[in-house]
């Protein structure tokens, strides 16, 4: 196949996946969830079931995308996800990362307000009890209440997808919610190589080579030093720390990916590459 055919094949493939996702979401929102409304009276139980359905649908979708060769991925530390009152924070380099994380655990999520107006996604985010970021004060109120009620919640401190090539910018909302209400704060680091479905790039501009996604779930961040401070000071300090922590990790992560590539390109993989890899990860 020529370069042009490969490109069009990738576009058709990604487009089909998007169509499946949209129609799937529509089907869940219009048929499956209203049906649940009839059979499951208890609201909390129903929301748990809806989140479980979304979780399994996303698992299917991830399997589909991987199956058709849309991307490859690896996950480490998934056992650390899913504790009551746990706040999961992640950087947001791609449209797909939230799908991957929800495919790992049926958590609640703070999502952009536009999804509550999107005809395909509207009913899904509403039924699953996801939280809108429309107003900061309202979001903080709902997110802290959800965590205190024992929910596991995903937040993206960037507030939107990462702008490739620009320094990471964290908003204080996630840190504020964390210091006030979470039982554990768990960082998730997402990297994609090459850049895949980032901000400000239409989906049909697919990368030339198959993207590889890394989802690393890190150790909990110790919040004890922030607990006794007034929230505004605590959240400022935590936010600065998180932003610094992620910036450092992600620049190391890029080094890690480069090291992997060097290793793979060497036909006779010696210990040298692996040692380098270990050093960078540690």
Name the residues that contact another protein, by CB under 8 A. Answer: 136-137, 140-141, 172-173, 176, 230-233, 235
* C-alpha of 31 from chain center: 26
Minimum CB separation of residue 230 from another protein in Å reads 5
Name the residue nearer to another protein (CB basis): 103 or 181.
Answer: 181
> Of the candidates 5, 1, 7, 16, which has an alpha carbon nearest to the alpha carbon of residue 65?
16
The Cα–Cα gap between 277 and 11 comes to 34
**Of the two residues 126 and 180, which places its CB atom closer to another protein in the complex?**
180
Residue 267, C-beta contacts closer than 8 angstroms, at least 6 positions apart: none
**Extended beta strands in the chain, E state:** 72-76, 86-90, 108-111, 131-132, 153-155, 184-193, 212-217
Closer CB to another protein, 49 or 133, in the complex: 133
CB of 241 to another protein, least distance (A): 16
Distance between CA atoms of 280 and 282, rounded to whole angstroms?
A: 6
* Choice between 133 and 162, CB closer to another protein: 133
Pull the structure tokens for residue 38. Answer: 């009839």
Residue 40 C-beta: closest distance to another protein, Å: 34
CB of 232 to another protein, least distance (A): 5
Q: Which of 161, 186, 162 is nearest to 174 (CA)?
A: 186
Question: Cβ closer to another protein: 77 or 231?
Answer: 231
State the nearest-atom distance from the C-beta of 148 to another protein, in Å.
15
């Amino acid at each position: 196949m020529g370069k042009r055919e490969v490109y069009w094949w990738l576009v058709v493939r990604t487009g089909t996946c998007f169509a499946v996702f949209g129609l799937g979401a529509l089907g869940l929102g219009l048929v499956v969830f209203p049906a649940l409304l009839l059979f499951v009276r208890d609201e909390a139980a129903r929301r748990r079931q809806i989140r479980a359905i979304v979780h399994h649908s996303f698992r299917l979708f991830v399997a589909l995308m991987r199956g058709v060769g849309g991307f490859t991925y690896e996950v480490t530390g998934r056992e650390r996800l899913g504790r009551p009152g746990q706040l999961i924070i992640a950087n947001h380099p791609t449209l797909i990362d939230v799908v991957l994380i929800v495919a790992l655990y049926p958590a609640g999520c703070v999502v952009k307000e536009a999804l509550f107006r999107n005809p395909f996604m509207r009913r899904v985010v509403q039924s699953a009890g996801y939280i809108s970021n429309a107003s900061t004060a309202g979001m903080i109120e709902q997110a802290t209440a959800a965590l205190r009620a024992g929910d596991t919640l995903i937040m993206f401190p960037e507030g939107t997808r990462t702008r490739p090539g620009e320094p990471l910018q964290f908003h204080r909302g996630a840190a504020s919610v964390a210091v006030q209400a979470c039982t554990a704060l768990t960082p998730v680091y997402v990297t994609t190589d090459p850049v895949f479905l980032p901000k400000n790039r239409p989906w049909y501009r697919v990368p030339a080579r198959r993207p590889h996604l890394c989802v690393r779930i890190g150790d909990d961040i110790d919040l004890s030093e922030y607990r006794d401070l007034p929230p505004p000071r605590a959240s400022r300090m935590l936010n600065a720390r998180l932003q610094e922590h992620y910036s450092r990790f992600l620049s190391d992560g890029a080094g890690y990916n480069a090291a992997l590539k060097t290793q793979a390109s060497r036909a006779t993989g010696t210990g040298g590459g692996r040692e380098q890899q270990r050093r960078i990860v540690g």
